[in-house]
Structure 1
Amino acid sequence: MRRRLINSTLAVVLVVIAVFGVSLVIVETRTISNSAQESVDSEALRLVSVIEAKVLEHERVDDGVLADQIGPDRFARIEIPGSPQVEVGQRPSGSVIRGTATGEQGERVTVEESRATVTREVGRSLMIIGAVALLAVVAAVLLAVRQANRLASPLTDLAETAERLGSGDPRPRHKRYGVPELDRVADVLDASAERIARMLTAERRLAADASHQLRTPLTALSMRLEEISATDDPETVKEEANVALTQVERLTDVVERLLTNARDPRTGSAVAFDLDEVVKQQIEEWRPAYRSAGRAVVCSGKQGMRAVGTPGAVAQVLAALIENSLMHGGGTVALRTRVTGNQAVIEVTDEGPGVPADLGARIFERTISGRNSTGIGLAVARDLAEADGGRLELLQQQPAVFALFLSRETRPRTEESERTVR
């Protein structure tokens, strides 16, 4: 591209120089020739006037008297009636420029100058024109090289940017070149890079969320299948199979929820549901794991509340909090339901050391973890809660108290009893 730009610019300059240069040479040659002819004619008229004055004063007219009246490299021939012809200067050889003038007394003066003088003057003019043309060509080449670099370098950068996008590096460069058309292309590439970066981030996030969220249902399902394989009691097999089917349904719900959030995190299917059933289901699901760890999980609080949200998403949030307490907490884990205003609140606390002070404000950020875990669970739980119009907060750091706030379905007041389930 650089070569094409340089060649095209140089071709245009050469054409312009050829057209205007030739015209200028022709005009300059004619101008010099006409000027030389006018100078010779003027010389002849001046000599005529000088000779007339001398004739009228009866002075002698010879080459000695007129030698200093003509310019160098010129020849003059004076013809006076009744007097011999007078010649001044050396007669030029070859082609000459001739000027003639006649006086009132019949005097006749002929002035000649060699055309070589005009040729030398034309040659000097041609040299000047050629030098100017050469400077114009050099300037055109330099300008063409500069312009070619200015246009070709940005195109090379843009090609490299497009190649980086194709190779999976979506970082925008935010580099502009001062050329509106190229800057427009750069804007489009940067916008595409940002969109690709968001898509890649969403895909990685979906993969991380899926691996984390599917781990618990798969573990529970595996435990149920192990129970089935280890027993010969038909009733136990039937019971465990029913529980396994429940886990499969929950697994399906988790997958659908993950895909829904991947398409649009704001999309939810909030309905009014019995909060007690979700809490009970989580207690039953996690009790074997806590029993194996020599710990207990209990729940207490108001009974009969109905919240607005997605039961599967609420179950996943509670599962993340209970699992977090199992991994990082200590002692008994307590789930407590209560009412504040028009919201239903589920608090999850344990007797462990709590959340470190330096992690309190960042505990819900991705990759933030106090004990070499993935740091994804609480971030996903917060996103699930917000998708249903609720919120997940850390109310207390030591001991850790997490609270899930959900909108509460309003209905006529019924007697609600305090309960404790172990």
Structure 2
Amino acid sequence: MRRRLINSTLAVVLVVIAVFGVSLVIVETRTITSSAQESVDAEAYRLASIVDSLLLDGKPVNPNVIADQSGAKRYALIEIPGRAPIEIGERPDGGVIQGKATGEQGETVVVEEPRSSVTREVGDSLLIIGGVAVIAVIAAILLAVRQANRLASPLTDLAETAERLGSGDPRPRHRRYGVPELDRVADVLDASAERIGRMLTAERRLAADASHQLRTPLTALSMRLEEISATDDPATVKEEASVALTQVERLTDVVERLLTNSRDPRTGSAIAFDLDEVVQQQMAEWRSAYRSAGRALVCSGKQGMRAVGTPGAVAQVLAALIENSLMHGGGTVALRTRVTGNQSVIEVTDEGPGVPADLGARIFERSISGRNSTGIGLAVARDLAEADGGRLEMLQQHPPVFALFLSREARKRAEERPTVR
């Protein structure tokens, strides 16, 4: 492309120089020739005037007197009637430019100038014109190279940007080139890079969320299937199969929820539901895991509470908190339900060391973890809570207390239940 731009620019410049150069040469040649002819004619008239003056004054007319008075440098032939011709200067050889004048006393003056002097002057002019043309060509080459680089380099840069996008590097470069058309292309590529970056981020986030959120129900389902395979009691098999089916339903709900959040994290299907059922479900799912770890999982607080949200999402939030306490906490894990204002609150706490001070303000950020875990669980849980119009907060670091706040639908005669279940 650079070569084409340079060649096209030079072609235009050469055509312009050829057209205007030839025209200028013709005009300059004619001007020099005309000027030389006028000069010879003027000198002939001047010599005729001098001869007239000498004749009228009765002075002698000879070459020296005429040359002194006129300062003539060209060859001149003066013919006076009744007298011998008078010559001034040396007659040129070859072609000449001739000027002729007739005086009042009948004398004739002829002035000649060699045409070679005119040719020499025309040659000098041609040299000047040629030099200017060469300078113009050199300047055109430099400007063409500069302009070609100015146009070709951005295109090469834009091609590299497009190649980077195709290879999976969506970082925008934010480079501009001072050419509106190229800057427009750069704007479009940067906008495309940002969109691709957001899409890749969303896909990575979906994959990470899916791997994290599906791990718990799959583990629980695996435990139930192991229980079924290890027992011959039909009642136990039936009970464990029923729980396994519940786990499959929850697994399906988790997948649908993840897909919904990947499209629009604020899209929810909030309904009024019985909070006790979700809490009891999570207690049943996690009790065996806590029993295997030699720890207890208890629940206390207000009964008969209803909340507005998505039961599956609330179950996932509670599962993330309970699992977090199982992995990072210690001692007994307690779920407490209470009402504050127009909100239903579920608190999850344990007797472990709590959240480190340096992680307290960032505990809900992705990839933030105190014990080499994925750092995704609490971030996903907060997103799920906010999608239902609720919120997830850490109320206390030592011991840790996490609270899920949901909009409340009041039920008459709600009773306190201080008992452990």
| 1:18 counterpart = 2:25 | no
Match of 1:330 in 2: 330
Match of 2:419 in 1: 420
| CA RMSD across the alignment | 0.9
Amino acid at match of 1:206: L
Match of 2:177 in 1: 177
**CA distance in 1 between partners of 2:394 and 2:232 (Å):** 46
Shift in CA distance, 19/301, structure 1 to aligned 2, threshold 3 Å:
same
Aligned partners of 1:303 and 1:419 also within 8 Å: no
Amino acid at match of 1:143: L
User: Helix, strand or coil for the counterpart of 2:111?
Assistant: strand
**CA distance in 1 between partners of 2:303 and 2:148 (Å):** 79
Aligned partners of 1:171 and 1:197 also within 8 Å: yes
Aligned partners of 1:217 and 1:247 also within 8 Å: yes
Q: CA deviation at 1:196?
A: 0.4
Percent of pairs with identical residues: 83
Match of 2:106 in 1: 106
Matches within 5 A, 1:216-231: 216-231=216-231
Match of 2:215 in 1: 215
| 1:260 counterpart = 2:260 | yes
User: Helix, strand or coil for the counterpart of 2:351?
Assistant: coil
Aligned partners of 1:43 and 1:70 also within 8 Å: no
**CA distance in 2 between partners of 1:263 and 1:328 (Å):** 32
**CA distance in 2 between partners of 1:292 and 1:360 (Å):** 30
**CA distance in 2 between partners of 1:55 and 1:235 (Å):** 159
Match of 1:275 in 2: 275
Aligned partners of 1:298 and 1:420 also within 8 Å: no
| 1:286 counterpart = 2:286 | yes
User: Helix, strand or coil for the counterpart of 2:99?
Assistant: strand
Shift in CA distance, 407/197, structure 1 to aligned 2, threshold 3 Å:
same
Please identify runs of 4+ aligned residues in structure 1 that moved more than 6 A: none
Residue segments in structure 2 that go unaligned for 5+ positions in a row: none
| 1:157 counterpart = 2:177 | no
TM-score, length of structure 1 as denominator length? 0.98
Matched pairs, number: 420
Worse-superposed segment, 175-184 or 402-411: 402-411
Encode CA deviations 1:247-279: one digit per residue, 9 max, x unaligned: 111101101101110111011010000000100
| 1:247 counterpart = 2:230 | no
User: Helix, strand or coil for the counterpart of 1:407?
Assistant: strand
**CA distance in 2 between partners of 1:210 and 1:221 (Å):** 16
Aligned partners of 2:302 and 2:414 also within 8 Å: no
Aligned partners of 2:337 and 2:344 also within 8 Å: yes
Q: CA deviation at 1:419?
A: 4.0
Q: CA deviation at 1:359?
A: 0.5
Residue segments in structure 1 that go unaligned for 5+ positions in a row: none
| 1:78 counterpart = 2:68 | no
Encode CA deviations 1:171-204: one digit per residue, 9 max, x unaligned: 0000110111100000000000000000000000
Q: CA deviation at 1:212?
A: 0.5
**CA distance in 2 between partners of 1:385 and 1:266 (Å):** 10
Match of 1:3 in 2: 3
Q: CA deviation at 1:58?
A: 1.5
Q: CA deviation at 1:70?
A: 4.6
**CA distance in 2 between partners of 1:59 and 1:222 (Å):** 144
Match of 1:315 in 2: 315
Aligned partners of 2:305 and 2:410 also within 8 Å: no
Q: CA deviation at 1:231?
A: 0.8
TM-score, length of structure 2 as denominator length? 0.98
Match of 1:399 in 2: 399
**CA distance in 2 between partners of 1:288 and 1:37 (Å):** 123
Worse-superposed segment, 229-238 or 389-398: 229-238
Amino acid at match of 1:414: R
**CA distance in 1 between partners of 2:310 and 2:44 (Å):** 118
**CA distance in 2 between partners of 1:240 and 1:303 (Å):** 27
User: Helix, strand or coil for the counterpart of 2:419?
Assistant: strand
Q: CA deviation at 1:355?
A: 0.5
Matches within 5 A, 1:358-377: 358-377=358-377
**CA distance in 1 between partners of 2:317 and 2:303 (Å):** 20
